[in-house]
C-alpha cells in the first residue's frame, strides 16, 4: 500500500469509536398523573399515545448529545410512594415532577412528598430538578405559585414544562450538558439565562 493509501485509510476510517458519553443514574418521582411517563417518553422520542401510569417502576435511557441519563421512574400512587426509598440507592440526582394544574389538595400532597424527598438521607445531598408540568393547561399555576420563593434552596432548580413545548425543554437540557462540567451536580445547578 502506498503512503497516500495508508494516510487515507488512517484519516478516513481509523479514528476509532467516539469517546463514550458519561452516564448518570437519576430517580424520577412525583404523584400519579403528574406526567412523568409522558415527559420521559417524549424525551426518548417514543410514542406517547395510550400512555398508562407506571404502577411499579420503569427505567429509560434518555440520550443527550453529551451524556445519557438512566432514569428510574417510580409510580406515584399512594400505595407505591411508601416504597420509593427502596429505589433511591445509587442515584446521582432526582427529577421530581409536579402537576401545576392539579387541585390544591393534590399540589399540597406533592409538596409534602417533595419535602420528604429533599430530606431523605439518601437524597438530601443530591441535586434536584423539579418540573412544574402541564403548563399548557388553563388551570396551570406559575412556578412561583407551585413552590413559594420561601422554599427555594441552593441545590435544586424548578423549570416549567409542558408537552407542547418539550422541544424547548430538551434543547435547554442539551445546552446545559454542553456547558456544564462533567459532574451532574454542576449540570443541575446551572441557571437559565
Known binding residue 40? Answer is no
State yes or no: 56 annotated in a binding site: no
To the question of whether residue 93 is assigned a binding role by annotation, the answer is: no
Residue 33 assigned as binding residue: yes
Q: Is the dihedral of CA 143, 147, 153, 156 positive or negative?
A: negative
* Res. 86: pLDDT tops 80: yes
Q: What is the CA radius of gyration of the chain?
A: 19
138-159 burial: b if 16+ Cβ within 10 Å, else e: eebbeeeebbeeeeeeeebbbe
132/189: higher pLDDT: 132
> Is 15 part of any known ligand binding site?
no
Q: If you average pLDDT over residues 58-82, what whole number do you get? A: 89
34 a known binding residue? yes
Three-state SS sequence of 174-186: HHHHHHCCCCHHH
Joined together, the cell numbers standing for residue 162 give: 409542558
For 35-45, write each residue's pLDDT tens digit.
888 888 887 87
Short-list 61, 56, 62, CA closest to 32: 56
Residue 53's contacts (CB-CB under 8 Å, 6 or more residues apart) are: 32, 33, 37, 75, 76, 77
Task: Judge whether residue 159 has pLDDT over 70.
Answer: no
- Count of residues making up the chain: 193
pTM: 0.77
Cα 5–chain centre separation: 47
Task: Tell whether the model's pLDDT for residue 15 goes beyond 60.
Answer: yes
pLDDT band at 132 (very low <50, low <70, confident <90, very high): confident
| Interval 96-121 mean pLDDT | 93
Identify the residue with better confidence: 31 or 95: 31
Mean of the per-residue pLDDT values of the chain: 77
The crossing angle, in degrees rounded to 10, of helices 166-179 and 36-43 is 70
pLDDT of residue 75: 93
Amino acid at each position: 500500500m502506498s503512503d497516500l493509501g495508508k494516510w487515507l485509510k488512517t484519516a478516513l476510517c481509523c479514528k476509532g469509536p467516539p469517546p463514550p458519553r458519561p452516564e448518570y443514574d437519576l430517580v424520577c418521582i412525583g404523584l400519579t398523573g403528574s406526567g412523568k411517563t409522558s415527559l420521559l417518553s417524549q424525551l426518548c422520542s417514543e410514542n406517547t399515545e395510550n400512555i398508562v401510569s407506571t404502577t411499579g417502576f420503569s427505567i429509560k435511557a434518555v440520550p443527550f448529545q453529551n451524556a445519557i441519563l438512566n432514569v428510574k421512574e417510580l409510580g406515584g400512587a399512594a400505595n407505591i410512594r411508601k416504597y420509593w426509598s427502596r429505589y433511591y440507592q445509587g442515584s446521582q440526582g432526582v427529577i421530581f415532577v409536579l402537576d401545576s394544574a392539579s387541585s390544591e389538595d393534590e399540589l399540597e400532597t406533592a409538596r409534602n412528598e417533595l419535602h420528604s424527598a429533599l430530606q431523605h438521607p439518601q437524597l438530601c445531598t443530591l441535586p434536584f430538578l423539579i418540573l412544574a408540568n402541564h403548563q399548557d393547561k388553563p388551570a396551570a399555576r406559575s412556578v412561583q405559585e407551585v413552590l413559594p420563593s420561601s422554599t427555594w434552596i441552593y441545590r435544586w432548580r424548578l423549570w416549567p414544562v409542558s408537552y407542547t413545548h418539550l422541544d424547548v425543554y430538551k434543547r435547554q437540557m442539551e445546552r446545559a450538558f454542553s456547558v456544564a462540567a462533567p459532574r451532574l451536580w454542576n449540570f443541575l445547578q446551572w441557571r437559565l439565562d
